[in-house]
Amino acid sequence: MRRDVQAIVLILVGGAILRITIGDTYLNYVKEVMKPWLLLSGGALVVLGVLALIDSLRKGRAADDEETPHDGPHEHAGAQGHDGAHEDDDGHGHGHGGPRAAWLLLLPVLAIFLIAPPALGAYAAARDVANSAPPQAAKAPPLPPGDPAQVTVAEYVGRAVWDDGLTLEGRTVEMTGFVTPDPEGGWWITRMAVACCAADAIASKVKVLNTPDLPADTWVTMTGRWVPGGGTKNDTAIPLIEVIDLVEVPQPKNPYE
Protein backbone atom coordinates (compact mmCIF):
# COMPACT_ATOMS: atom_id res chain seq x y z
CA MET A 1 0.00 0.00 0.00
CA ARG A 2 1.30 3.48 -0.87
CA ARG A 3 2.51 5.61 2.01
CA ASP A 4 -0.10 8.32 1.42
CA VAL A 5 -2.89 5.74 1.52
CA GLN A 6 -1.44 4.24 4.71
CA ALA A 7 -1.43 7.70 6.24
CA ILE A 8 -5.08 8.27 5.31
CA VAL A 9 -6.06 4.92 6.85
CA LEU A 10 -4.26 5.88 10.08
CA ILE A 11 -6.06 9.21 10.19
CA LEU A 12 -9.46 7.62 9.58
CA VAL A 13 -8.98 4.87 12.18
CA GLY A 14 -7.72 7.39 14.75
CA GLY A 15 -10.58 9.77 13.93
CA ALA A 16 -13.12 6.98 14.36
CA ILE A 17 -11.70 6.11 17.78
CA LEU A 18 -11.83 9.75 18.85
CA ARG A 19 -15.36 10.15 17.53
CA ILE A 20 -16.84 7.32 19.61
CA THR A 21 -14.77 8.22 22.67
CA ILE A 22 -15.54 11.93 22.86
CA GLY A 23 -19.21 11.01 23.07
CA ASP A 24 -20.61 8.03 25.01
CA THR A 25 -20.69 5.52 22.15
CA TYR A 26 -17.52 3.80 23.34
CA LEU A 27 -19.42 2.59 26.43
CA ASN A 28 -21.24 0.16 24.13
CA TYR A 29 -17.96 -1.68 23.64
CA VAL A 30 -15.59 -1.16 26.60
CA LYS A 31 -15.58 -0.12 30.25
CA GLU A 32 -15.58 3.54 31.20
CA VAL A 33 -12.05 3.33 32.62
CA MET A 34 -10.74 2.76 29.08
CA LYS A 35 -11.63 6.30 27.96
CA PRO A 36 -8.19 7.93 28.59
CA TRP A 37 -6.42 5.13 26.71
CA LEU A 38 -8.81 5.39 23.78
CA LEU A 39 -8.27 9.15 23.57
CA LEU A 40 -4.51 8.66 23.75
CA SER A 41 -4.41 5.93 21.09
CA GLY A 42 -6.84 7.73 18.76
CA GLY A 43 -4.90 10.98 19.04
CA ALA A 44 -1.60 9.19 18.43
CA LEU A 45 -2.94 7.51 15.27
CA VAL A 46 -4.18 10.83 13.89
CA VAL A 47 -0.85 12.56 14.60
CA LEU A 48 1.15 9.70 13.06
CA GLY A 49 -1.14 9.68 10.04
CA VAL A 50 -0.79 13.42 9.50
CA LEU A 51 3.01 13.27 9.81
CA ALA A 52 3.17 10.32 7.41
CA LEU A 53 0.95 12.12 4.92
CA ILE A 54 3.08 15.29 5.06
CA ASP A 55 6.23 13.20 4.59
CA SER A 56 4.69 11.35 1.64
CA LEU A 57 3.58 14.55 -0.06
CA ARG A 58 7.01 16.16 0.47
CA LYS A 59 8.80 13.15 -1.03
CA GLY A 60 6.34 13.11 -3.91
CA ARG A 61 7.12 16.73 -4.76
CA ALA A 62 10.85 16.04 -4.51
CA ALA A 63 10.50 13.10 -6.92
CA ASP A 64 8.56 15.27 -9.36
CA ASP A 65 11.32 17.88 -9.29
CA GLU A 66 13.95 15.24 -10.09
CA GLU A 67 11.98 13.99 -13.09
CA THR A 68 11.56 17.36 -14.78
CA PRO A 69 13.02 17.54 -18.35
CA HIS A 70 16.03 19.72 -17.42
CA ASP A 71 17.30 17.03 -15.08
CA GLY A 72 18.31 14.82 -18.00
CA PRO A 73 18.20 11.05 -18.31
CA HIS A 74 20.98 10.37 -15.80
CA GLU A 75 19.21 11.80 -12.80
CA HIS A 76 15.99 10.11 -13.82
CA ALA A 77 17.83 6.81 -13.88
CA GLY A 78 19.02 7.53 -10.33
CA ALA A 79 15.46 7.10 -9.14
CA GLN A 80 15.68 3.51 -10.24
CA GLY A 81 17.22 0.56 -8.45
CA HIS A 82 20.57 -0.91 -9.40
CA ASP A 83 18.95 -3.32 -11.80
CA GLY A 84 17.22 -0.52 -13.70
CA ALA A 85 13.79 -1.21 -12.22
CA HIS A 86 11.88 1.21 -10.06
CA GLU A 87 11.91 0.55 -6.33
CA ASP A 88 8.22 -0.34 -6.41
CA ASP A 89 8.66 -2.84 -9.25
CA ASP A 90 8.88 -6.58 -8.70
CA GLY A 91 11.71 -7.03 -11.22
CA HIS A 92 9.32 -7.74 -14.09
CA GLY A 93 8.15 -4.20 -14.60
CA HIS A 94 5.02 -4.65 -12.48
CA GLY A 95 4.43 -2.33 -9.53
CA HIS A 96 3.04 -3.62 -6.27
CA GLY A 97 0.51 -1.55 -4.35
CA GLY A 98 0.91 -3.50 -1.12
CA PRO A 99 -1.54 -5.96 0.40
CA ARG A 100 -5.04 -5.11 -0.69
CA ALA A 101 -6.36 -6.68 2.50
CA ALA A 102 -5.16 -3.56 4.31
CA TRP A 103 -8.18 -1.78 2.85
CA LEU A 104 -10.32 -3.94 5.13
CA LEU A 105 -9.16 -1.68 7.97
CA LEU A 106 -11.63 0.86 6.59
CA LEU A 107 -14.63 -1.42 7.18
CA PRO A 108 -14.84 -0.90 10.97
CA VAL A 109 -14.25 2.81 10.37
CA LEU A 110 -17.23 2.98 8.01
CA ALA A 111 -19.32 0.93 10.44
CA ILE A 112 -18.58 3.39 13.25
CA PHE A 113 -19.29 6.47 11.15
CA LEU A 114 -22.39 5.12 9.40
CA ILE A 115 -24.00 2.51 11.69
CA ALA A 116 -22.39 2.49 15.13
CA PRO A 117 -23.23 -0.99 16.48
CA PRO A 118 -25.37 -0.92 19.64
CA ALA A 119 -24.51 -2.47 22.99
CA LEU A 120 -25.11 -6.17 23.50
CA GLY A 121 -28.74 -6.93 24.18
CA ALA A 122 -31.37 -9.63 24.36
CA TYR A 123 -29.96 -11.70 21.49
CA ALA A 124 -26.60 -12.15 23.24
CA ALA A 125 -28.15 -12.55 26.69
CA ALA A 126 -30.50 -15.34 25.58
CA ARG A 127 -27.51 -17.38 24.43
CA ASP A 128 -25.56 -17.00 27.67
CA VAL A 129 -26.28 -20.18 29.62
CA ALA A 130 -24.46 -19.32 32.86
CA ASN A 131 -26.34 -16.78 34.96
CA SER A 132 -24.26 -16.37 38.11
CA ALA A 133 -20.87 -17.32 39.50
CA PRO A 134 -20.34 -18.25 43.16
CA PRO A 135 -19.53 -15.11 45.18
CA GLN A 136 -16.20 -14.71 46.92
CA ALA A 137 -17.86 -13.92 50.27
CA ALA A 138 -19.52 -16.80 52.09
CA LYS A 139 -22.47 -14.62 53.07
CA ALA A 140 -23.99 -11.58 51.41
CA PRO A 141 -24.05 -8.35 53.47
CA PRO A 142 -27.44 -6.86 54.40
CA LEU A 143 -29.18 -4.61 51.91
CA PRO A 144 -28.85 -0.88 52.55
CA PRO A 145 -31.64 0.59 54.69
CA GLY A 146 -34.80 1.94 53.12
CA ASP A 147 -37.30 0.55 50.63
CA PRO A 148 -36.91 0.06 47.82
CA ALA A 149 -33.22 -0.80 48.01
CA GLN A 150 -31.42 -0.14 44.74
CA VAL A 151 -29.54 -3.20 43.47
CA THR A 152 -28.01 -4.30 40.21
CA VAL A 153 -29.45 -7.28 38.39
CA ALA A 154 -26.24 -9.23 39.04
CA GLU A 155 -26.42 -8.41 42.75
CA TYR A 156 -30.01 -9.59 42.96
CA VAL A 157 -29.10 -12.82 41.19
CA GLY A 158 -26.16 -13.41 43.53
CA ARG A 159 -28.25 -12.82 46.67
CA ALA A 160 -31.14 -14.97 45.46
CA VAL A 161 -29.13 -17.89 44.07
CA TRP A 162 -26.12 -18.17 46.38
CA ASP A 163 -27.54 -16.77 49.61
CA ASP A 164 -30.99 -18.43 49.32
CA GLY A 165 -32.64 -15.00 49.23
CA LEU A 166 -32.03 -14.47 52.96
CA THR A 167 -31.06 -10.81 52.53
CA LEU A 168 -33.95 -10.20 50.12
CA GLU A 169 -36.76 -11.66 52.22
CA GLY A 170 -39.28 -9.06 53.32
CA ARG A 171 -37.62 -6.27 51.31
CA THR A 172 -38.51 -4.44 48.12
CA VAL A 173 -35.78 -3.76 45.57
CA GLU A 174 -35.38 -1.57 42.52
CA MET A 175 -33.27 -2.43 39.48
CA THR A 176 -32.85 -1.40 35.86
CA GLY A 177 -32.32 -3.71 32.90
CA PHE A 178 -33.61 -4.70 29.49
CA VAL A 179 -36.18 -7.26 28.40
CA THR A 180 -35.02 -10.66 27.18
CA PRO A 181 -37.86 -12.97 26.07
CA ASP A 182 -37.97 -16.34 27.88
CA PRO A 183 -38.46 -19.19 25.37
CA GLU A 184 -40.78 -20.84 27.90
CA GLY A 185 -42.98 -17.74 28.14
CA GLY A 186 -42.72 -14.35 29.77
CA TRP A 187 -39.42 -12.50 30.00
CA TRP A 188 -36.32 -11.85 32.04
CA ILE A 189 -35.04 -8.51 33.22
CA THR A 190 -31.41 -8.62 32.11
CA ARG A 191 -28.18 -6.72 32.39
CA MET A 192 -24.79 -7.45 30.86
CA ALA A 193 -21.56 -7.02 32.83
CA VAL A 194 -18.09 -6.62 31.32
CA ALA A 195 -14.63 -7.15 32.80
CA CYS A 196 -12.89 -5.28 29.98
CA CYS A 197 -14.97 -5.11 26.82
CA ALA A 198 -18.11 -6.48 25.18
CA ALA A 199 -16.20 -9.58 24.07
CA ASP A 200 -16.12 -10.90 27.65
CA ALA A 201 -19.65 -9.79 28.63
CA ILE A 202 -21.80 -12.08 30.77
CA ALA A 203 -25.53 -11.79 31.34
CA SER A 204 -27.52 -11.75 34.57
CA LYS A 205 -31.21 -12.59 34.24
CA VAL A 206 -34.17 -12.52 36.62
CA LYS A 207 -37.55 -14.03 35.73
CA VAL A 208 -40.30 -11.40 35.99
CA LEU A 209 -43.72 -12.47 37.31
CA ASN A 210 -47.18 -10.94 36.95
CA THR A 211 -46.45 -8.50 34.15
CA PRO A 212 -47.39 -8.39 30.46
CA ASP A 213 -44.88 -9.21 27.75
CA LEU A 214 -42.74 -6.40 26.40
CA PRO A 215 -40.64 -6.19 23.21
CA ALA A 216 -37.07 -7.50 23.41
CA ASP A 217 -34.43 -4.92 24.40
CA THR A 218 -36.98 -2.62 26.06
CA TRP A 219 -35.26 -0.92 29.01
CA VAL A 220 -37.24 -0.84 32.26
CA THR A 221 -36.83 0.18 35.88
CA MET A 222 -38.81 -2.08 38.17
CA THR A 223 -39.64 -2.35 41.83
CA GLY A 224 -40.43 -5.78 43.16
CA ARG A 225 -40.13 -8.45 45.83
CA TRP A 226 -38.09 -11.62 45.89
CA VAL A 227 -40.08 -14.83 45.35
CA PRO A 228 -38.61 -18.25 46.21
CA GLY A 229 -37.97 -20.44 43.19
CA GLY A 230 -35.78 -20.63 40.15
CA GLY A 231 -33.10 -22.73 41.81
CA THR A 232 -30.22 -22.08 44.17
CA LYS A 233 -26.52 -22.94 44.40
CA ASN A 234 -26.37 -23.37 40.61
CA ASP A 235 -24.73 -21.07 38.07
CA THR A 236 -27.61 -21.61 35.61
CA ALA A 237 -30.37 -20.82 38.13
CA ILE A 238 -32.61 -17.88 37.22
CA PRO A 239 -34.29 -16.36 40.30
CA LEU A 240 -37.78 -14.86 40.38
CA ILE A 241 -39.15 -11.43 41.19
CA GLU A 242 -42.73 -10.30 41.69
CA VAL A 243 -43.27 -6.89 40.16
CA ILE A 244 -44.82 -4.05 42.14
CA ASP A 245 -44.09 -1.22 39.73
CA LEU A 246 -42.64 -1.12 36.23
CA VAL A 247 -41.60 1.89 34.12
CA GLU A 248 -40.07 1.94 30.65
CA VAL A 249 -36.89 4.05 30.55
CA PRO A 250 -34.27 5.04 27.97
CA GLN A 251 -31.08 3.01 27.74
CA PRO A 252 -28.66 4.21 30.42
CA LYS A 253 -25.53 6.08 29.44
CA ASN A 254 -23.54 3.01 30.43
CA PRO A 255 -25.54 -0.08 29.39
CA TYR A 256 -23.24 -2.49 31.28
CA GLU A 257 -22.96 -3.15 34.98
Domains delineated in the chain: 3-117 (no CATH), 123-248 (2.40.50)
Q: Are 52 and 10 in contact (CB under 8 A)?
A: yes
Strands 187-193 and 202-209: antiparallel
Q: How far apart are CA 221 and CA 173, in angstroms?
A: 11
Q: How far apart are CA 202 and CA 130, in angstroms?
A: 8
Cα Rg of the chain (Å, integer): 28
Helix (H), strand (E) at residue 153: helix 153-162
Task: Give residue-wise pLDDT tens across range 205-257.
Answer: 999 998 999 999 999 999 999 999 998 889 899 999 999 999 999 999 999 98
Whose CA is closest to 168, among 192, 187, 149?
149
Q: In terms of C-beta density within 10 A (0-12 exposed, 13-18 middle, 19 or more buried), how is residue 8 classed?
A: middle
What is the structure's pLDDT at 151?
A: 96
Q: How far apart are CA 44 and CA 135, in angstroms?
A: 40
What is the structure's pLDDT at 27?
A: 86
Q: In terms of C-beta density within 10 A (0-12 exposed, 13-18 middle, 19 or more buried), how is residue 164 classed?
A: middle
Where do the H-state alpha helices sit in 67-148?
A: 72-77, 106-114, 122-126
End-to-end CA separation in angstroms for the chain:
42
What is the structure's pLDDT at 204?
A: 95
Number of CB atoms found within 10 A of residue 130's CB? 11
What is the structure's pLDDT at 246?
A: 96
Residues of the chain with pLDDT under 50: 72-98
Whose CA is closest to 157, among 136, 131, 181, 183?
131
